[in-house]
Amino acid sequence: MRIRRFGAAGAAIAAGALVLAGCAPGGGSEIEEGTALSVAWNQAFYAYNGNTADGNATANNNIIYMMSDSFAYYDDTPALVQNPDFGSYEKLSDDPLTIKYTLADGVKWSDGTAVSTADLLLSWAANSGAFNNVEPEVDPETGEVLNQDEIDAGVFFDSAAIGGGLDLVTEVPEVDGNSITMTYSEPFVDWELAFNLQLIPAHVTYQQSVDDAASDADAAAAVATAIEEGDTEVLGPLSAFWSHGYDMVSMPSDPDLVLSYGPYVITDLVQDEFVTLTANEGYTWGEHKPVIEEITVRFIGDPLAAVQALENGEVSIIAPQSTADILTALEGLDDVTVDTTSDATYEHVDLTVNNGGPFDPATYGGDAEKAQLVRQAFLKTIPRAEIIEKLIKPLNPEAVLDDSQTIFPGAPGYDDMIAENGSAEYAEVDIEGAKALLAEAGVTTPVEVNFMYALSNPRRVNEYQLIAESAAQAGFTVIDAGNDDWGSKLGDGSYDAVVFGWQSTSTAVTSSQATFYSTGGNNLNGYANEEVDALYDQLAVEYDPEAQIDLLIEIEKILWADAYGVTVFQFPGVTAYDNTVVDGVVPAPLAPMFFWNFWEWELVG
């Protein structure tokens, strides 16, 4: 499952309003030596840097969450909880918007190096795109980067967070002791979330990419100097390593590549099997001290296999993608607590518009209108209501069709949104309408559509089959491109349509910008519309909740008219745990879901 660094939908939980609270209780206990717990997740860990376009996935960020710290985090309410043990932030000015971040004393990396303003500066430089001077040129058919030499010679931080607010901080932040101060070029409504990102160790990134002989202190200082002076000779290799040097599917030989600045540190990683985290002895500054010495996250893609592993005692917590069979199987287990809290995640089908396929204007000699008609025709064949009825209502009888790209059903503004956004055009399957659109486009059938989905996920298999059967009636040949490695293939142009879920990580009103903005870090299908970009620019500086909804409605009118894709349903979440083994498990709607309070987990008995 992919995550949106800034959330899955504006106004998804609280219409963009952030609720501040004091520190959550729990933590602070002594680690119980020799204790261990195994849990399961449905996708393998593959990147230590969860900020990159490739690494921005729940499978990575759940693990990273347990080995990092932050200025604030979400609880299960969800409320944004400030974390003064790590650091603090304060607004110094509204005009211009000026924010000061200060690190607390004693915060350090697991190699003993202090977390410093150099790490904060690197986070700003990488996630603002301020120094990027080259963009990848990708072959639409193969996904191959055509200008790799140019990228290697330039500066390109491949961040998924670009467009999330830090791009408005165009000048290098001012450093003063253990603080940095950021000045925005214009107001930004979600400023409180813009810099709440995973840190990557500046000293390690420099040593790995520029000078492996540099001391930790000198390396960190060199990064800060390069950023302050705009030294592209240093920033070039630094950006390349930041973007790709932390990709991994097995335990690296150099432990510096998995440094922790949080409660746990990675001590073992076996490809496609598990990752083990051990309590970080150097974590002394925070209240989130874990009790369990070792946590192993096993990678189990098949939901039924996860249930079996729970029953057999191989794992004690699971959160499989739910089906009626999965829920029935879980409810039949003894000593297992099952929580069906809905996730802040939505299922959707996206169409690729830049890969030379059936939905790309280039296929029709640059005729954007013809490509749009073909996209509209395909979306008219997607049996959204049937998917809800057969796959979701057995789990949640109250489930409804999700008709918004940016607001969840039941959230403020949703009813106004779906009354105006144009989603009604795709409420029901319209085979004759799809045929008419193809005829209007002058496109002969069959039209081949490579459709990607998670091959080991039974619900996605069923969705694919329902879609393929329906689309065939209108003249589409939907080719099975199911793949267990679907997450790493997102955005590579190898597919024409894909079904997956966006997982929220925050309540930011501008969260969807990362997906629909032409240069957004989560823009995986090549969509670009100048009017949409302009509306998001307005949204970023709009503080009135009603006006925010109005802007989102205007954005969605364009998205639905452009036949970007369709939303289908909000995930029926399920978390199950063995209550004879572990206590303190509290599912949360936002990522990292049940991992959010890992420091409160305790072994029973």
State pLDDT tens for residues 63-118: 999 999 999 998 888 888 999 999 999 999 999 999 999 999 999 999 999 999 99
468 CB-near residues (< 8 Å, 6+ apart): 451, 478, 480
Give the model's pLDDT for residue 573: 80
Residue 15's pLDDT band (cuts 50, 70, 90): very low
CA nearest to 307, candidates 335, 328, 326: 326
Beta strands, E only, 396-549? 447-452, 476-480, 497-503
Residue 345 has pLDDT above 70, yes or no: yes
CA nearest to 189, candidates 515, 553, 506: 506
Question: What's the CA gap between 404 and 105, in Å, rounded?
Answer: 44
The residues facing 538 across adjacent strands are none
Each residue of 54-63: pLDDT tens digit? 898 889 999 9
Angle subtended by helix axes 232-244 and 202-209, to nearest 10: 100
Residue 391: alpha-carbon gap to chain centroid: 24
End-to-end CA distance of the chain: 34
Q: What is the pTM of this model?
A: 0.79
Report all structural domains of the chain as residue ranges with CATH numbers, in order of start: 43-257 (3.90.76.10), 345-570 (3.10.105.10)
The 317-318 sheet, strands edge to edge: 264-270, 274-279, 292-299, 32-41, 317-318, 575-578, 336-339
Residue 403 has pLDDT above 60, yes or no: yes
Question: What's the CA gap between 175 and 220, in Å, rounded?
Answer: 14
Residue 29's pLDDT band (cuts 50, 70, 90): low
Tell me the backbone φ, ψ of residue 353, rounded to 5 degrees: -115, 10
Beta strands, E only, 312-385? 317-318, 336-339, 345-351
Q: Which whole number is the average pLDDT over 223-252?
A: 97
Beta strands 602-603 and 582-583: pairing type?
Answer: antiparallel
Each residue of 267-298: pLDDT tens digit? 999 999 999 999 999 999 998 998 999 999 99
Compute CA distances 241 → 208, 379, 442, whole Å.
Answer: 7, 40, 47
Residue 7 has pLDDT above 70, yes or no: no
